[in-house]
Amino acid sequence: MTNIDIMRVLLPPDDNSSDIRLGILLDNAENTLLDYIGRESLPARLNDMVVQIALAMYNRLGTEGEIKRSENDVSYSFSDLITDDMKRRLKNYPRKVGAINADDTEGS
């Protein structure tokens, strides 16, 4: 089963997103993970995490850049795409030596 097939199973049955749209979300999710672990290729065991992040991206469409939202006395808050549970799992995949770290600054 491809990741697009898995996304279709997990999305509501009335969803009519194109394969192109789902493919873009999956590519973005994979790139997010690759940036986080500082690698050029994704270990196969993290494939399910790509789908989880892509689904989170799908659910956030139209709310890009928002942290919180309130409408008619209903409040919404958005968590990080890579949750704490995912971060714990990603500790099994240390960054490659020489990968740029988020704490690195230019010229240091």
pLDDT block averages, 10 residues each, the chain of length 108: 93 89 96 91 93 91 71 74 89 71 46
Domain, as residue range, for 20: 3-90
Per DSSP, what are the bridge partners of residue 68? 77
In a domain, 10, yes or no: yes
Secondary element (H or E) of residue 16: none
Secondary element (H or E) of residue 21: helix 19-37
Give the pLDDT confidence score for residue 101 in this predicted structure.
Answer: 54
Number of domains into which the chain is organized = 1
In a domain, 106, yes or no: no
User: What is the Cα–Cα distance from 105 to 12, expressed in whole angstroms?
Assistant: 43
In a domain, 108, yes or no: no
Q: What is the pTM of this model?
A: 0.76
User: What is the Cα–Cα distance from 30 to 19, expressed in whole angstroms?
Assistant: 16
